[in-house]
Chain A
Amino acid sequence: MLKDGKNAQAFPEFGPERRGAPVRSYLRIDDQPILLRTPVTAPDTVVVMDATLLERRDTVLGIKPGGLLLVNAPERPPVVVSVPVRMAWVDAMRISASLFGKQIPNTAMLGAWCRVDGIVGQAAIEAAIREWFPAKHAEKNIEAARRAWDAVEVAELEASSASDTAKGSSAFAFLDDYPIIATAFPGEGGAGRTGSWRISDPVVDAQRCVRCGRCVTACPEGVVAMTEDGVTIDLTYCKGCGICAVECPVQAIRSGEVGA
């Protein structure tokens, strides 16, 4: 941005960081100095780094009609929006995996965004990458941006009447019940469906399992249960830490692809 003579302001959603937990960051770009210091509630553009987050209603909440929704996804993601938007997608995971051997989709997403949004030029992006990364990584990252520039696909998305983007009024129901102090009652999924944090699924081989129960004890989330049918894992909340697989004495749990 700065390379194109614009002003930019970037900040994360403030709070303690947790590994794997979804995070939201905000970016403002303007020709004028930026004075507003509040979170962006009506974005022109929403960039979704992980397509599983589209399950959460609040991910695209507030996007402007005609806005841009850019998703890191191997194919056209099934998205329902309440206003018409331009949707773009690119398989940034595959691009980064082939270039770096790791899933770091950031610069690929940058390249795709640069193409479909167009408010910052490709030359400025490449100059910024050169400045940010040490020389030995810069060229590969520029290559990632270029490949994504070429690969990104775009489609116009109609508004769907089925989608409900209104904010739930239940968020303040606690006021009626417990009016004096902050009172929280035990409930699962306080941090959302933490299963979406997973980058691999624990898969149990019932044949191998000797029902020792170690995985049940060692799972930090407490989502492994021993039932009559053997070991079951609640994938709604399993964060995919992989401890159960490491702790299993007979290697009856392995890491499989998400949702496989």
Chain B
Amino acid sequence: MATRETPFVMPGNSSCAGCGAVLIARLVTEAIGPNQIMVIPACCMGAVATSFPKATFNVPVLRTAFASTASFLTGLEASAKAKGQDVTLVGFAGDGATVDIGLAALSGAIERGHSFVYVCYDNEGYMNTGFQRSGSTPRGAQTSTTPGGVLSRYKTEVRKDIAKIVAAHGIPYLATASPAYPADLRRKVERAVAVKGPAFLHIMSPCPLGWGFPSAQSVQLARTAVESGLWKLYELDHGVLRLSLAPKKRKAVREFFAPQSRFAHLTNDVYEGLQAEVDGEWATIEKEGFSLRCETARA
């Protein structure tokens, strides 16, 4: 069992130096405590979970197939009920496993109301297989399957907003979080554990390797995403929507994009367009209050 002496995430694991995902895994498991069972599908954290025969996480981990995080949580919840077992069930999955291949399973599990905490660490692509695009890759990003060339121009589509998709299920608890705001993250994890029924956490997960920035900037970049207004921290608790933080003086969005090689091709006018978009969103928030309405389709 994890104690002060034996940490929740074992040092000397195989995650990249500066990996945001393994930091999130540590913050989340620490916040939940030893009475948890984790389900991890195919993804970077799945690969990091074992260097056989050693395990990285100091809680029981059930590895599963790429699409099956939420269906494993379903089966675990049913078995826990059958046994009268009181334990927190945690899904820890990448964006690909969540917004793409595992979306039907996630949707079904939330609709059925099982009790679990589903954490999507979002590094905005299929990192474990070498940085291919996912449904959560932002527009404009270069990935290994949106390489850009004579005929094509990187990722041209707007990312899915998984938090809104999840919110549409009427889920009891939903929150976005960031490793740059560990206290906020911890509070949200604790709340997610406390609520009855499904809870979903969408956490931005900087990936130095895939995004192409120096590993030292991992946490800072996550902070810049919030301070520039790009990554909104909020929670939806039984229908009550709250913005956790409204940056007083927003940083330029450029500060988030510029250090990353996947955006190296962005030009000034693109930055201006992106800045205008974000400014527009926040102007609406300031005028009408924060809501989860769908933005009109972006060009």
A interacts with B: yes
Taken together as a complex, chains A and B put the C-alpha atoms of A219 and B215 apart, in Å, by: 11
Chain B 30-47 near chain A by CB (<8 Å), digits 1 or 0 = 000000000000001001
Give chain A nearest CB distance to B120 CB in angstroms.
Answer: 18
**Quick check: A242 and B18 within 8 Å, CB to CB?**
yes
For B214, what are the chain A residues with a Cβ–Cβ distance below 8 Å?
242
Q: Known interface pairs A20-B16, A186-B58, A246-B217. Does A222 touch B9 (Cβ–Cβ under 8 Å)?
A: yes
Residue of A nearest to B25 (CB): A220
A239 on the B face (CB < 8 A): yes
Greatest chain B CB density within 10 A among A197, A236, A241, A242 is at: A241
Contact A21 B12, beta carbon cutoff 8 Å: no
A241 touches which of B12, B17, B26, B51 (Cβ 8 Å): B17
Cross-chain contact A190 with B51 (CB below 8 angstroms): yes
Chain B: how many interface residues by the 8 Å CB criterion?
Answer: 45
A190 contacts B10, C-beta separation under 8 Å: yes
A142 to B209, CA, bound (A): 29
Cβ-defined contact, B18 with A243, below 8 A? yes
**A16, A21, A183, A242 interface centre (most CB from chain B within 10 Å):** A16
> Given A184-B54, A217-B182, do A246 and B216 touch, yes or no (CB 8 Å)?
yes
Q: At the interface, yes or no: B208 with Cβ under 8 Å from chain A?
A: yes
Q: How far is the CA of A173 from the CA of B27 in the complex (A)?
A: 32
Q: Assuming the A-B contacts A20-B17, A192-B12, A246-B217, are A222 and B53 also in contact, with contact meaning beta carbons closer than 8 angstroms in the complex?
A: no
Within 8 A of A (CB), among B91-122: none
* Minimum CB–CB distance for A244 against chain B, Å: 9
Closest to A193 in B: B12
Contact: A185 with B17, CB < 8 Å?
no
Asked whether, in the complex, the Cβ of B14 is within 8 Å of the Cβ of A190, the reply is yes
A190 contacts B12, C-beta separation under 8 Å: yes
Report B200-254 residues with CB < 8 Å from chain A CB: 208-209, 214-220
Which of B19, B20, B56, B219 lies in contact with A186, CB distance below 8 A?
Answer: B56
Q: Tell me which residues across on chain B come within 8 A of A240, comparing CB atoms.
A: 17
The reply to whether B215 and A185 contact each other, CB–CB distance below 8 Å, is no
28 CB < 8 A contacts A-B: A16-B47, A16-B128, A16-B129, A17-B130, A17-B209, A18-B209, A19-B17, A184-B52, A184-B54, A185-B54, A186-B57, A189-B10, A190-B13, A190-B14, A190-B51, A190-B55, A192-B12, A193-B12, A194-B13, A218-B182, A218-B219, A220-B20, A222-B7, A222-B9, A236-B12, A239-B17, A242-B214, A243-B215
Chain B residues packing against A (C-beta within 8 Å): 6-20, 22-23, 26-27, 44, 47, 49-58, 128-130, 179, 182, 208-209, 214-220
Q: A184-B54, A186-B6, A188-B10 are in contact. List 18 more A-B contacts (CB 8 A).
A: A20-B215, A21-B14, A182-B50, A183-B53, A186-B58, A188-B54, A189-B11, A190-B14, A191-B14, A192-B12, A220-B218, A234-B11, A236-B11, A240-B17, A241-B218, A242-B214, A246-B220, A247-B220
